[in-house]
Structure 1
Amino acid sequence: MDFIQNLHWSVWIVIPIVGLAIRDILQKRHTIQHNFPVIGHIRYMLEKIGPELRQYIVANNREELPFNRGERAWVYASSKKENNLQGFGSDQDFNSVGYIFIKHAMLGLKLPKDHPNLQDPSAVPCAKTIGEYHNRKRPYKPYSIVNISGMSYGSLSAKAIESLNKGAIKFGCYHNTGEGSLSPYHKFGADVIVNIGTAYFGVRDDEGNFSMEKLIKMTQDNSFIRALELKLSQGAKPGKGGVLPASKITQEIADIRHIPMGKDVISPAYHSAFSTIPEMVEFIEKMAHNTGLPVGIKSAVGKVEMWEELAQYMVKTGKGPDFITIDGGEGGTGAAPHAFADHVSLPFTFAFSKIYKIFQRYGLADKVVFIGSGKLGFPEKAMMAFAMGCDLINVGREAMMSIGCIQAQVCHTNRCPTGIATSSKWLQGGIDPALKSERLYNYIKTLNKEMLEIAHACGYEHPSQMTMKDVDMAMGDNNKTQSLATTFGYDKTTVPFKGVSDLLKSPYLGGNKATK
């Protein structure tokens, strides 16, 4: 009897295996499965889970890209208010090319007893005021030097955007909408910068052309919009447009972006509203005049001839962008073809230094607010950016990690396991905006605080006082290091600065922190 029962179960096991083997032999699509029936499937299973195996078992703390385990652990610990320190010294290779060394002062800075950072060690507003040079009607001084980079609703889930916005209002940083336009999930009260891309989502007519009337109405109806950002390109896919498949367009997304249902929507690689530098500047001036808001541009960097033309035109006319966001080629919140993501546009340090030197040469470096983005969401990298001339930094993927992103690298598949980069209601169900907003708040607060601590160690009150001589970079030649000033061939223009106390009293201060 037992023999018969065992035989019965064996048949049920063997028959499917035999069937799978026959199917593998007959199919011609996969050579491995044809040549090695049944067991060939193991190869594809291992390939599928390979990234997870490397991430959690094989790779060491400093080996992974785009963010290694040590970097992710620091963001996770900071966002959860856990211990983000490390013991027993550094596990970094100090001799690796490009390694950053920040040179502290012998004694450092001792703050006076009435200094605001003794009460709030993370309060660090932007040293410059956006829109002040061009006398905009509503200048803006960001309360935080660390802010949320442009990531669209549709690219990120509703609950992810909500978590970021609610976290932003808790700390006082601004939240960039990304080119997907202003959604209901950006409207919880945080300062917002509206990103306007080539498809003019949210501010377009039925033919896809830019609509000034819709932009004016948007800014009038939402007083928390503090600036506009004209996106020329981004680090993930510079010089390339995009496609929003009809299958991903919900009625809500269609209403927000002012696009039709049931049709693929193309984001062109270029703007239809202008095609020359003078036309772009006039477009910027019209937006600023009609809304009263500061207007800036965001771009990755390749050829620099038109940047030179822009600087010349700004000097000639006294017109132009109020801020410039330089996105390094290592940026990556947008899905992109391999070649664009890996080989098109310069990485942040080369990109920023080239553009900053152009504007410095024309006497504009102290008149424009410079924003850096591209893996700068860590204290040492952010301080390097400030030493090079940045006034603010934007964080994208680091902000995503603070609310739970595990770097699964499946953002483009709509199967994000954490619910952050997907439209799946089921996967989003694991996101609690009340909890995740608190974690974004903790991360931004910690990053601001540690940047201030480094500034104080260097003898400065504010990160904007960092200079190109305060940071060395390893050259890889016989353990040689040299300053950023020598490496990139310029000294940063001094940023006018009276003190943190003075910044906190500005009538243009954002984050609902302005003195009334």
Structure 2
Amino acid sequence: MFLANIFSSFSWWLILPLAILILAIRDLLQNRHTIQHNFPVVGHIRYMLEKIGPELRQYIVANNREELPFNRGERAWVYASSKKENNLQGFGSDQDFNTAGYIFIKHAMLGHKLADNHPNLKDPSAVPCSKTIGEYHKRKRPYKPYSVVNISGMSYGSLSAKAVESLNKGALKFGCYHNTGEGSLSPYHKYGSDVIVNIGTAYFGVRDDDGKFSMEKLIKMTTDNPFVKALELKLSQGAKPGKGGMLPAAKITKEIAEIRHIPLGKDAISPAFHSEFSTIPEMVNFIESMANQTGLPVGIKSAVGKLEMWEELAQYMVKTGKGPDFITIDGGEGGTGAAPHAFADHVSLPFNYGFTKVYKIFQKYELADKIVFIGSGKLGFPEKAMMAFAMGCDLINVAREAMMSIGCIQAQVCHTNRCPAGVATSSPWLQAGIDPTLKSERFYNYVKTLNKEILEITHACGYEHPCQMTMQDVDMVMGDNNKTQSLATTFGYNKTIVPFEGVDKLLKSPYLGGGKAQVN
């Protein structure tokens, strides 16, 4: 009996390490859960804590709406949507309806009923842009995005190769475009989706040996890659406007250095400002030169601060008939890029204030219906997207929401090269847990769900397309006085009406992107 007890005790000590070893091997060999692959065994603790997280926060830490930059309720919606799980909520809302800035979308008593042959009955997520980029300035290759929701600029280098690949393949499947970010066009942007090439102050990918802009390289890039549909000249970004981007040397691989045409072993620091222009007329000339040489529409991306130069740009466009084909307004809420505390928290206006101020300027000069307006800054949720459309956005770009759809857990270590989910790192080990086949499907599910819910709210409001939303259709809470008022009253304008002839007409445009064009 004594020996049996010893043997029994010994066997348990043997079984436990063996079980842990087997679990570790299983974690290393699977790619479905990145955290478990990158951190065998202990990675299971993260999922266990996530599962009981709502209870822990409810009684000990915080509720579902208190976390920033994205609270648990928002993240849970993205995760569930990307995995095709139940993204509904029960037992009413847990929001505080009296919070200043809270929005209410006003539905119609009788919503918009689709005709029997309406294309959205077949595809309830098909929402093309109501405008065509480059049409007003008569570019050689105008472009109508297939989706009103698209991927914002996130560079290869800032994001891992497998993350970029996952997003691009998911974008291809759905039909939305993929903005390269200022890190230029990489092999991982070339799986077939529509691409908008972002050109920043360092001119990565289209620069010569001295770091100056090379038109010859830009022409070759756009000629060799016909899926490039437009160019975006980046003036600034919400995370750090007026300060150049920086990719730490630790994140720069040989491949990234070759793509960007930069040296290895040094931080890649973008200048704060462009060397090709320093005035509004010079910038417009640069835009026109790129458009004429490539045939592509060219737009600008910027955060918003002082308004004098926006006024000057609008005046110059009226005077010359030249200028950007689209304007992307990036909110000061920040993004994936690392930034000094003061820049991230206090420099540039949040999206709501920045966008409305710029839009009113272009509306004053009767340009609002001629330019495609793109909004960016935590808009990747149905209600926030609808608010943006009501304000005058024609498209929205999503960045961090897209990252969450492929596994980002909001660790907020994007700048350290230690992203535990493998999304924002160049570490081969950490990104090895990302399976692009699975993750691309999850981004596809997310963007499809977002477009579908945008359409559902649109129909509830009595419209066929979100471009028909007006500033009177959304109310905003004013705070302690317990009153609400329309966006029109809050921001002091009514958006310019966008010409719209029906979704079926948009889907038949010869300029429709996403591989969906149907010539009449």
Q: Are 1:150 and 2:170 an aligned pair?
A: no
Give a deviation string over 1:326-375, Cα, whole Å, max 9, x none: 00000311110110000000000000000000000000000000000000
Counterpart residue number, 1:132: 135
Give a deviation string over 1:378-398, Cα, whole Å, max 9, x none: 000000000000000000000
Q: Are 1:476 and 2:476 an aligned pair?
A: no
Which secondary structure state, in structure 2, belongs to the residue aligned with residue 216 of structure 1?
helix
Q: Give the C-alpha shift of residue 478 in structure 1.
A: 2.5
Which secondary structure state, in structure 2, belongs to the residue aligned with residue 308 of structure 1?
helix
Q: Distance in 1 between matches of 2:252 and 2:431?
A: 17
Residue 262 (structure 2) aligned to one of 259, 263, 281: 259
Residue type of the alignment partner of 2:483? K
Paired residues for 1:44-83 under 5 Å: 57=57, 58-83=61-86
Which secondary structure state, in structure 2, belongs to the residue aligned with residue 383 of structure 1?
helix
Conserved? CA contact 1:331–1:373, under 8 Å: no
Conserved? CA contact 2:158–2:247, under 8 Å: no
Paired residues for 1:490-505 under 5 Å: 490-505=493-508
Q: Give the C-alpha shift of residue 54 in structure 1.
A: 8.9
Q: Give the C-alpha shift of residue 262 in structure 1.
A: 3.3
Q: Are 1:86 and 2:89 an aligned pair?
A: yes
Which secondary structure state, in structure 2, belongs to the residue aligned with residue 372 of structure 1?
strand
Give structure 1 stretches of 5+ with no counterpart.
1-50
Matched pairs, number = 466
Q: Are 1:287 and 2:287 an aligned pair?
A: no
Counterpart residue number, 2:410: 407
Residue type of the alignment partner of 1:88? F
Q: Are 1:117 and 2:133 an aligned pair?
A: no
User: Aligned pair in 2 of structure 1 residues 239, 54: CA closer, same or farther (>3 Å)?
Assistant: farther
Q: Are 1:95 and 2:114 an aligned pair?
A: no
Residue type of the alignment partner of 1:219? T
Counterpart residue number, 1:389: 392
Residue type of the alignment partner of 2:293? N
Which secondary structure state, in structure 2, belongs to the residue aligned with residue 130 of structure 1?
coil
Residue type of the alignment partner of 1:151? M
Residue type of the alignment partner of 1:222? N
Structure 1 residues 467-476 or 238-247, which shifts more? 238-247
Q: Are 1:160 and 2:163 an aligned pair?
A: yes
Q: Give the C-alpha shift of residue 254 in structure 1.
A: 1.1
Residue 361 (structure 2) aligned to one of 358, 361, 366: 358
Give a deviation string over 1:102-130, Cα, whole Å, max 9, x none: 00000111111000001100000000000
Which secondary structure state, in structure 2, belongs to the residue aligned with residue 472 of structure 1?
strand
Q: Distance in 2 between matches of 1:379 and 1:150?
A: 20
Structure with greater Cα Rg: 1
Q: Distance in 2 between matches of 1:235 and 1:413?
A: 20
Residue type of the alignment partner of 1:61? N
Q: Distance in 2 between matches of 1:54 and 1:70?
A: 12
User: Aligned pair in 2 of structure 1 residues 220, 390: CA closer, same or farther (>3 Å)?
Assistant: same
Counterpart residue number, 1:427: 430
Give structure 2 stretches of 5+ with no counterpart.
1-48
Q: TM-score, normalised by structure 2?
A: 0.88
Counterpart residue number, 1:486: 489
Conserved? CA contact 1:329–1:344, under 8 Å: yes
Residue 227 (structure 2) aligned to one of 224, 227, 239: 224
Give a deviation string over 1:56-108, Cα, whole Å, max 9, x none: 64221001000000000000000001110000100000000000000000011
Q: Distance in 2 between matches of 1:263 and 1:331?
A: 25
Conserved? CA contact 2:215–2:290, under 8 Å: yes
Which secondary structure state, in structure 2, belongs to the residue aligned with residue 467 of structure 1?
coil
Residue type of the alignment partner of 1:197? G
Q: Distance in 1 between matches of 2:291 and 2:245?
A: 27
Which secondary structure state, in structure 1, belongs to the residue aligned with residue 408 of structure 2?
coil
Residue 322 (structure 1) aligned to one of 313, 325, 330: 325
Q: Distance in 1 between matches of 2:268 and 2:75?
A: 34
Q: Distance in 1 between matches of 2:71 and 2:253?
A: 35
Q: Are 1:212 and 2:215 an aligned pair?
A: yes
Paired residues for 1:265-280 under 5 Å: 265-280=268-283
User: Aligned pair in 2 of structure 1 residues 339, 501: CA closer, same or farther (>3 Å)?
Assistant: same
Q: Distance in 2 between matches of 1:474 and 1:263?
A: 49
Conserved? CA contact 2:253–2:426, under 8 Å: no
- CA-based RMSD: 1.3
Give a deviation string over 1:464-503, Cα, whole Å, max 9, x none: 0000000000001331000000000000000010000000
Give a deviation string over 1:11-36, Cα, whole Å, max 9, x none: xxxxxxxxxxxxxxxxxxxxxxxxxx
